Structure formats: structure tokens, C-alpha cells
Chains A and B, each alone.
Chain A
Amino acid sequence: MSAEPRAPADPLTVTIDGRAVEVAPGTLVWDACEKAGVFVPVYCAHKKMEPVAVCRMCLVEVGTLPKLQPACATVVQAGMEVRTATEKVRRFREGNLEFLLLNHPLDCPVCDRGGECDLQDFAQRYGPPRSRTAITGKVHFDKARPLSDRIMLDQERCILCWRCVRYCDEITGDRAIVLQERAVHTVVDTFEGRPLTGPFQGNLPEVCPVGALTHTDYRFRSRPWDLQRTPSICSGCSYGCNLGVDSRDDQVVRLVSQDNPDVDDSWLCDRGRYGVPDLNRTDRVVSAETSLEGPRRPLAATEAAAAASRALAGLLERHGPLQVACLGTSQMTNEEAFALQWLARDVIGTPHVDHQLRDWPQLSVEEFRLGIRELEECDTVVVLGERPEQATPVLTLRLRKAEHKCGREVRRVAADADPAPLAALVRGRRLVGVVAHETDRTAARELAAALAPGNGEVRRLTLTDGMNGRGCKDMGLLPHLLPGYQPAERTGMGGREILAAAVAGRLRALIVVGPNPELEAESGFEAALQRVELVIALTPFLGAISRQARALLPGRTIVEKQGTVTSSEGRVQRVRPALHPRLGAGPSELRLLIEIGRALGGAWDGPPLATPAFQVLATAVPAYRSTRGGLRAAWPGWGSPG
């Protein structure tokens, strides 16, 4: 594989079933067929893997060649004529499906894959009308054997398309699943059937075209036609993987990948994919409550918000704004984050606003310059320590792709390594990428500075904690930076100082938004809150925040709300409600924040809904204006990062 970018070549024209289509040289017939709108059935070919042409399902007629050719592995040539709908092709597909079904158990009624199985679908569409397998009997293999606590293997259902084997070879590189034995006895398995241990097992059932590899946690749970799919973003980390939330009866049943070639490249990590139980948590704040006007009692969320506003107004009148602080969370949407900082700065008039406990000195958007896709274009990528891949696991697969498919150099160095020796080694590169977790951003800055003189350009990617940690920073949910990284006139207290002020009794009111596991896990957090006169909390889950709130407003989970989030690389993507908000949850956090602000005399332009709110924030942060469709924010001087 050439490391140099390919020179664009003139397109050529091929004919697919009489339809002329223009494609780039090097295109596979299979892709040309897709472009021509001609469906060609296939099992082994996979967009993310090299062709192997083993299933033969995609054989088509090409030009005057006497033999049928595999569309998945044949490269187009100018003037090539491809025929997929001939009697010869039809007969072969029927014959090949008979072969595939010969030793298949036909246990569709108890197979999790039923309804979304390519074997079932193609057998219906192209298969033989009758079975002759009574003649032969079937070869039997292991059924329903756990390959790990996450994955089940059914060797009888396997059609040996090699996708799982190639996934383990080409994509993860652990080569854990291999082919064993030979001829009709061939199976896929691990070494001696030992458990899989990798962090990306959940992709296996997705690459499997049949029911051979299935998810243990989805076993006998549902049929696909009973599920509703909502496209959204994984909330497991700040990488921004696209996924489909499959739900049924207002429960999330499973998460499936949705290929975004710029981000996840169709892979999810197990931590994200199997985070379903977190999305179905039942320890929820189901009703607003206040103890502001008498003993703690449930009431409608709008009434509770009004009561909170009144209490806050009184307090501001008595003590002024500087004893009020706002603490958001890196789980909130951009719209909510922007609204919270508006409430703090523009309405209340306090500079004490943050979204986490860490300080972010010398923060500039430049440390998020390097995009995920650009990792494939860097001559050298330097990764600081293990934290980036621990924080955002799918990064590992992109680094592997950069290294093995794109021929890039990937260097993993200790986060506290001396930059000088590395700078001596990495020289004369056109583009160097430095990837670090936010914990190590100082080291990354020093390393980038050391690398800058010897190389063309050095770009950094800082991986932030929390699903929308990056967006919160862009939105100015920081004590020292306004939206768009504009310096604040007066720097307020950061998260940790706010807590310290609370402990010291110097904080009279705190608006706190959850869920914020980092905050709630902080020792002394609850005690600190107890010393604050007025705690207004918006949170979906029961916990320290909800316990200490004097005005408690129920929040929505990430699968119940609408809005945008920004991944570490600055990609602004939409989350959509897959579930109805829990009964009694009332208005969205965004609406509540805006209503509180309005009650205190603030002016918010437009209705308190996610889409108009995005217009509002994009006015303040122009880089967000052209992010529609999930693009990266275009910061001044960056060109169009795509």
C-alpha cells in the first residue's frame, strides 16, 4: 500500500446491466454495481476489509470472459460490460445457495439473526425452491458455545465468509479467531476454544453476515422488526462514534454501529456498545421537588423552576452575584452548556462557571487541531502513554489502520518521556500528529513545541473526558474562557475552587447539572453542598446531587434528549431521543435553564428548543455555523477541516 496520496485519475465508464456508470480507475465491480444501483449479493466482501472472493455469491458475467467473475475482487476496466441478471448468474446463485444451505441447521426460528440475516434474505431472493439436503445429511459442529461472556459462536450457522477472521487480522490485529481444520470440516474458532479477551468483540456479530456470531446480551431478546432505530452518538466517551439506538417499549435493547468513515469507520468499542444498562437505568429522578417553600415536596418541574428562580432572585438581591456559581457537566449538550454559561454570565452575572474539576490553563483550540481521519495522513503519529486509547478505545483501530493500511509511522511514547530524543528521531516529516489525553496536555504541548522546528507541521489532538467535554469548552463553560475561547474579562472560580468556596462557606448558591460522576465521586462533595444555602440541581439520576438539591429538576438521559455534542476532534454531531422522556420528567433541561434565566430577567433569543438554541450559540461561536451534517467546527485560520 502506497504511503503517498494517490493522484486523481480520470474516471472511466463501465456498463452494469446496460446502465453506464462512471467510476474511478481501481474501483471494484461490486462498488461500480452499487453506484449503478444494481444490487449484487455477497457474504465475504466487506467495505472495510480486503477482498477474498471466497463466498462466490457475487459472481457475475464480465465482457466475453467465459467464466463468471467475482464482482468483489474484479477491478473495472474502461468499457467493461458487467451483467448480473443473466440466466447463467441466476442459476449459479441458486446453486451456490443450495451449497450454503447444505450443512446449515436452518434454525432460523431460534436464531437471533432471523430477520436481518443475509443467508435468510438471499435464500429467499435467489435460493433454490426446494431442498435436496435429505440426500446428504449434514455435517455437525458446535452450537451456541460462548466465545467470551459477550459473544456466542454457532459453528453450524457459519458460512465461512472469513469476515471475523479478517476482522481479527486486518482490523484489530489480535488474530484471535482463525480458521481451523479443512474442507467441509473447516470452522472458525479461537485457540483451543479459549475466551476472547479483546476490547472490540462487539463488532464481530456485526461483521458476521449470518447468525454464527451473536451478542450474549441480545440473546433471545428481540426480533429486528420490533425494534426502532434512532441514529445518535455514543455517550461512552468523547470520540463521537456514530451509532443506532435500537429500542423497544421505551427500553434500549442494543446499540449498533453506524459507519462514519471520518470517526468510527464502523467500529464500536465494547465499553460503548455494551453500555446499554446505563441507558436503561431505573434510579431516576422522576419528579421535581423543592424544600424552598416549606418541607420537601414533589411538584411540577416548571413550578419548581419558578420557585428556584424566586429563591435565586432573592439571594442575588441580598448578596450579589459573586457568591453564586454554576457547575455543568461534560455530559450536557452544546445547547445546554451554552444556556448554562449564558445563565451564569449574562443573567446572574457571575464568572464562576465550569463543567469539571480540572484546570485548563493555556487552553486554545489549537490543541484540538488534528482530526481523527487526519491520523491516516500524518507521516508520524506520536501517542503519549496509554491514556488516549484507554479513554477513547476506538482510536486504537484508527491508529492501526494508519499504521498497517496507510503505512504511517505510529510511535507510542511514555507520557512523561523527555521530548528531546524523540525530536531527534522524528525529523523532516511533512505532518506530525501528537495525540494525548487531557491529563497529559502539558506534556503534549512541550512535545509539540520540541517537534515543531524539525518538521513541516505539528498538529495536536487532545482527548477530552466526558461525552461532550470538548463542546463544553467550545461553549465557554470554563471560568477563564468565553464561548469560542475568547478570554473572559474576569476569571472566575473553576470547579475545584467552587467546591472549596462551598466548604469554606463562601458560596451561597450553586446551580449544578448532572449526571456528573466525577463530581459526585469527589470526596467531600456532598458535605460541601450541604453548606450552600441554595442548590438548584438538574439531573436525571438519583445520587449526591439530587439528595443535596433544594430545588431538584428532573433531567433527561442522553437517549431522551435532542441536541448536539462535540467530539474531541471538534465534530459537532446530533443526539436524538430514542426513548420518550420518563413519565413526569417534564420539560427539557435546556428549557428549564432558559426559563430560569428568563425569570431572572435574562433575554434569550428564540424558543427554548435545541435547534433554535443551536442558532443562538452559533452566533456566539461562528466556527459552529457550518457544522451541519456532523462536520468539524471550522475555526479561524484552519481552512475547511471537513
Chain B
Amino acid sequence: MAAQERRVLTRHLGSPDLTSLAGYEAVGGYASLRQALTMTPEAITEQVRASGLRGRGGAAFPTATKWSFLPKGVFPRYLCVNADESEPGCFKDRVLLESNPHQLLEGTLIAAFALQASHAFIYIRGEYRAQRELLERCVDEAYRGGYAGASVAGSDFACELIVHGGAGAYICGEETALLDSLEGLRGQPRLKPPFPAVRGLYGQPTVVNNVETLSNLPYIVEHGGDAYAALGTAASPGTRLFCVSGHVERPGTFEVPMGTTSLADLVELAGGVRTGHRLKALQPGGGSMQVLGPEHLDLPLDFKAVADAGSSLGAGALVVMDETTCLVEVSMRLVDFYHHESCGKCVPCREGTYFESRLMHRLEAGLASSDELATLAEICEHMDGRCFCPLGDTATWFVMSAYRMFGDEFRAHCGAGECPVRARGRRVA
């Protein structure tokens, strides 16, 4: 069967003037919100539970379960929308923010109603300045259209919508760092427990949900949780937006049903590995996740199957690398990224990413000894699982998985004086 998209999140794309309130209403926008307001918050949560929707930010935690952690009877409560998409290789939230911002606002308001949250804050990364301004315009429209504020769509539910722009810090995608950033502090992760559901923003019960997660809600409310669940498999229900980039013919985002689609299907949707080249490695999930090889192409987009193979679907990315790729160089770039983005809070991440980065540069340049390669592995051991938050842990995952899978390539760099992959490429050319 040829790979096929299944458009749920992206079903309205291409409709005229979709980023305006009128354009969105023309495709039935905000009808789900009106419908939700006639339901009880519990009934909405039940539909979300039935849909099997899991968080699309990377951790894949069941959304309804996350909502259920809010302590009963404690108000005010807050909803935060994580639009801090920064995972290398991920750009799906950007697509949703740019192409259908009102769908996100509608989903946000539905969630806010289900949670009985008084405020919903949309935390959007600083680099998405144009998208932020678009979102701010849409929020203004939503207020003017009566969908936000003191009376949401004429109901007695009140909810303020606030767009909050970040300013360049990957760590703010971590939900507790996002909360600190929203409180006007350095965006550094908080000690857990207490978890945000109990003591989150301003010390109040708080839910943080990803853009894609919430953008699914209008569909789920309209069609029911079961209909959504039926789109995928029992273990991995629904559709998901995947970002395919790297050495493919047509990089882009593709919405596919979970479970029944494979990694190979995604590569195919993106036009296959670029002409004249063959697949060397895959990175699903985004920059944090472990590398996979061509032998993993048949893996379905199923949380467990990919986890069993030693990686993760993470935030819905797939970076494709062909035989011209040096895995040491790719590792170095990712390590540099984590080094730059470490918040500096805990020792193993702050110092470890620095050590890692220095070593990777020496290795990539062919200057490192084999002892230094052993040192690299030791450093990663002292970081993984020892850091305050997942950033430091994940700063080791790709490089260590690449070292395991492409050990010869790493070893060939030791004392080589230059990158052997590049040298080979020159010889071939």
C-alpha cells in the first residue's frame, strides 16, 4: 500500500483566509467550542480519554490522565499551551500556528473549559516572532468574536487568553521551565514534586499541553473520542503530524495515522531518500532521540515499537541521513546545541555538555585520541540520568547511540587528522 496522509489536524488547510476568524468560522470553526460548552467538563475529559490522545510534545503522556491530576476544588487553575517548539528537526507546531491558529485557540478554550481554567497562556518561542504576532491578532479576533474573555461564546465560562513570547531558550519547552519563564524568571526547570498539576503557575494547579495536542480537540469534540481513536491503532490512536527533513527529496510535514504507518512510509511521503543516494541513518523524535539504522525502516509509528528499537517518536520528527553523512559531525552539532542551550542549573549538564562539546570538536577534526573517545563515553555515563532535568540526559542519547551503531566511524576519527567521511567523499568525487 502506498503511503497516505490522513488529514485531521490539517483538514482545513487550503481553505481561504483560514487564519482569520471569518475564514475559520466558514469551515465550521468554533462550533466544537460551542458544543463543548453545552457539555460538562467531565464529559469532555471522557471524550478525550476515549480518543486515547497522548501528548504530542514528546513525552506522549495520556492527555486525559494529565488533566485528571488536578486536585479537585482548587482554584484558580491555569492552562499553558506549549508552543515553544525547539526540538531540532521539529517544525510541526509552526505549521499549525501559521496555517490554522484559530484551531489551536479553539482547542485551547475547550481544554480550558474542561479544566475550568481561568487563564490560558500560550507560550510561543521567541524565534517565532511573526507567528506570535499572527497569534496575537487571532486572540484579538477571538476576544472580539466573543470566544474569549468574561463570557466564552455567551456562556458563563470566563477565560483569558494570553500570548506570551519567549526569547530564545530551548529549555523553556520543559514544562516547569516554561512556568518559571511565564512567571518572569530565568527559564530553569523546577524541582519535582510538586508537579505542575498540584503546584504550577503561581503555585496553582496547572496543565501544560502541546500545540498539536490541543489542536486535536475541536475534532475530538465534534466527532467523538472513539472516532479519533479509530484513526490509528489501539496502542497508538489518532493521527500525528510528522516532520521529515534531511536527505529526502521533499522535506515537509505529513499527517498520518499512528500505528499503521511506518518510518518507510514517511520517507516515501517525503519523496524518498534523495536521488542517487542511499539511507545511512534515521533520527526519529527530534534532536534528543537515538539514532536508528536502515534496518528499522519497517518500524510502525507506534510508541512501543520505536521504544523497543531503542529510540522514540518524541516530538514527531524524522531526520533522514544518507551515506554522505558523518555521524560524528551530526553528533557534534547536536552536542553543541545542548551545550548552548543548557540552562546551567545543574553540574552534570552545565559542565558535562561543555566537556562533551570540546571532545566532539576534537573528535570531528580527527584530533582526539582513542582515550578521549573513552572519556566521551564516561562523561555521558556521568550525565545520563544524573541531571536535574531531561535536557542533560538527552544531550548524551544521540551521540551514545551513534557511537554504538557507528563505532567504527567514531574510532576512525581518532588521530585521523581530519574527518574520514569527508575524506572518503572527496575520493569518491
A residues with a Cβ closer than 8 A to B are 51-57, 59, 66-68, 73, 91-92, 95-96, 98-100, 102-103, 132, 135-137, 139, 159-160, 179, 181-186
Contacts and interface: CB of A to CB of B under 8 A. Distances in A.
B382 A179 contact: no
A99 B372 contact: no
Given A67-B386, A91-B381, 17 more contacts: A53-B388, A56-B348, A66-B385, A67-B385, A95-B378, A100-B347, A100-B351, A102-B354, A102-B355, A135-B358, A136-B355, A160-B347, A182-B342, A183-B342, A183-B353, A184-B342, A184-B354
B119 interface: no
A136 B359 contact: yes
B382 A135 contact: no
B74 to A, nearest CB: 15
Nearest to B343: A182
Contacts of B387: 56
A102 B388 contact: no
A56 B339 CA distance: 18
The secondary-structure label for the interface of chain B is helix
Contact of A179 (B186, B191, B346, B388): B186
B379 interface: yes
B386 A184 contact: no
Can you list the 7 inter-chain pairs with the closest CB atoms, starting with the nearest?
A95-B382, A186-B344, A99-B351, A136-B358, A184-B354, A183-B342, A67-B385
Contacts of A179: 186, 344
B55 interface: no
B348 to A, nearest CB: 6
Interface of B: 169, 186, 191, 339-348, 350-355, 358-359, 362, 372, 375, 378-379, 381-382, 385-388
A56 B347 contact: yes
B347 A183 contact: no
A557 to B, nearest CB: 45
A92 B353 contact: no
9 contacts: A54-B347, A103-B354, A132-B375, A160-B347, A183-B341, A183-B344, A184-B342, A184-B344, A184-B350
Nearest to A181: B344
Contacts of A96: 347-348, 382, 386
B265 to A, nearest CB: 34
A199 to B, nearest CB: 26
Nearest to B171: A182
Given A56-B347, A159-B347, A186-B350, A95 B372 contact: no
A68 B386 CA distance: 7
A184 B392 CA distance: 13
A56 B355 contact: no
Contacts of A67: 385-386
A59 B386 CA distance: 8
Nearest to B361: A136
Contact of B355 (A92, A99, A181, A183): A99
B379 A95 contact: yes
Nearest to A137: B358
B3 to A, nearest CB: 37
B388 A56 contact: yes
A51 B191 contact: yes
Contact of A92 (B169, B354, B386): B386
B375 A183 contact: no
Contacts of A59: 386
A561 to B, nearest CB: 47
Contacts of B378: 95
Contacts of B382: 91-92, 95-96, 98-99
Nearest to A57: B347
A136 B358 CA distance: 6
A183 B358 contact: no
Interface centre among A51, A73, A102, A181 (most CB of B within 10 A): A102
A160 B345 CA distance: 8
Contact of B350 (A68, A91, A132, A160): A160
Most buried by B among A68, A98, A139, A183: A183
B338 to A, nearest CB: 9
A55 B388 CA distance: 9
Contacts of A132: 375
Nearest to A93: B382
Nearest to B190: A52
B347 A55 contact: yes
Contacts of B354: 102-103, 136, 139, 183-184
B126 to A, nearest CB: 14
